[in-house]
Amino acid sequence: MSELTRRMFAQSAMAGAAMAPYAAAKPLAPLTPGIKISMQVGEDVSDADLQWIQQMGIEYLNVQTGKGRGTYDNFMAIKQKVERAGLKVWNISNNDNRNIEEITLGLPGRDAKIEWLKQYIRDTGKAGIGYITYAHMANGIWSSERGKTRAGASARTFNVKTAKGFWNGKTYEGPLTHGRKYSKEELWDAYTYFIKQIAPVCEEAGVRFGIHPDDPPVPELGGIPRHIFGNYDGYMKALEIANSPAVGVCLCCGTWMEGGKAWTGKDVYEAVRGFAKTGKLWKIHFRNVTAPGPEFVETYIDNGYTDMYKLMKTLVEVDFRGNLIADHVPEMATGRHASWSYSIGYIRGLHQAALTEKGKS
């Protein structure tokens, strides 16, 4: 028996032992009909901004917390603040709860990271929040120097020759970000070890665990393959391994467009239809880019290569019932309120038009 095989058996045994004490799964709360168009905010969102969000016709918030703030008490404080304003929390994110290199690569310290994430999930469910987003990148989100999009707006760019990875205060660069190349088999083993422990906790807590695509979904960056959540077939295999009603998809449509069909295996419309058939498509990041890789610029929702009305109609046709956010919005000259109002208004207009068209068909 090889050393790698022995290690795999040991890891499987440890994962099985870790799962043993979990309580029976709670039924996941059914998603009510309709797309929940939502706004992203920080936990320090002001009362004036909460009013502005309501004035745009938004009901749900996706809230970002700071380092060390991913606790039950803080979740409850955020939820109570939001609900006092007449809004609802869809999920609460923290940069520590995703893109964890120790977990993705099976590095020392991963068991402690897994235990921390389990508690984060339990606290989320205890707070009455039924969803979190997770991402499984080992060396961050890769970008090149800031560039410009329409009329000089500052925007994220990517060029495969100049990009570096960034996440949670760390920078990843060079041909090998972790000192060597990793094999696809190693990453599948690490994912399996992880998800077999996390899935039962999600079920027990009644929390949906939506996994974000690798951004960008280049086949390999820094010696790390992006074959699990960088293409459609990898996603489907990962969902099969999880074998859990609580593990599903957060489809960042902009990330999917960055890869295009050449890298992801399906265009964004096909991906929506395919993931919707699993019953596990729970969140959409609704944004546009100028072109599929190896080079792109994030741009305004109406200024990229994807037909966003066709995308919205696809979501309506598949009866998507999850959460939909604007994301990575280029700032306008007069500031954040203008840029986000533009994107949210555009999204709401597309949604209403798609509903009207469906009603006439």
pLDDT over threshold 80, residue 4 = no
Pair of tokens at residue 260: 């295009």
At 25 the pLDDT is: 67
Residue 155 · residue 146 · CB < 8 Å = yes
Predicted TM-score (pTM) of this structure: 0.92
Tens of pLDDT along 260-305? 999 999 999 999 999 999 999 999 999 999 999 999 999 999 999 9
Tens of pLDDT along 296-355? 999 999 999 999 999 999 999 999 999 999 999 999 999 999 999 999 999 999 999 999
* Domain ranges, ordered by start, for the chain: 32-360
- Residue 88: φ, ψ to 5°: -130, 150
- Nearest Cα residue to 77 out of 22, 69, 125, 235: 69
- Nearest Cα residue to 349 out of 308, 320, 318: 308
At 234 the pLDDT is: 98
| Residue owning tokens 């050393």 | 3
**138, 193, 205, 285 from 196: Cα distances, Å:** 19, 6, 15, 26
pLDDT over threshold 70, residue 2 = no
pLDDT over threshold 80, residue 224 = yes
b/e per residue, 182-211, with b = 16+ CB within 10 A? Answer: beeeebbbbbbbbbbbbbbbbbbbbbbbbb
At 10 the pLDDT is: 43
Residue 61 · residue 82 · CB < 8 Å = yes
Dihedral sign, CA of 344, 350, 353, 359?
negative
pLDDT over threshold 70, residue 13 = no
Residue 139 · residue 172 · CB < 8 Å = yes
Question: Which pLDDT band, with edges at 50, 70 and 90, does 23 fall under?
Answer: low
Residue 213 · residue 255 · CB < 8 Å = yes
DSSP H or E segment with residue 346: helix 336-360
* SS3 state at 250: strand
Strands 170-172 and 220-221: unpaired
Q: What is the mean pLDDT of residues 25-47?
A: 94
Least confident of 9-23, 123-137, 219-233, 243-257: 9-23
Question: Which pLDDT band, with edges at 50, 70 and 90, does 361 fall under?
Answer: confident
Tens of pLDDT along 72-87? 999 999 999 999 999 9
Least confident of 25-39, 154-168, 200-214: 25-39
Between CA 311 and CA 317 the distance in angstroms is 10
DSSP code string of 61-88: EEEEE-TT--SHHHHHHHHHHHHHTT-E
Pair of tokens at residue 127: 């707070």
* SS3 state at 147: strand
- Nearest Cα residue to 330 out of 295, 304, 351, 353: 304
The distance in angstroms from the start CA to the end CA of the chain is 61
- Nearest Cα residue to 145 out of 124, 125, 159, 126: 159
| Residue owning tokens 């059914």 | 30
> What's the fold here for domain 32-360?
TIM Barrel (3.20.20)
**37, 83, 89, 94, 113 from 79: Cα distances, Å:** 18, 6, 6, 15, 25
Between CA 127 and CA 208 the distance in angstroms is 14
**Could you tell me which residues are beta bridge partners of residue 141?**
166
pLDDT over threshold 50, residue 121 = yes
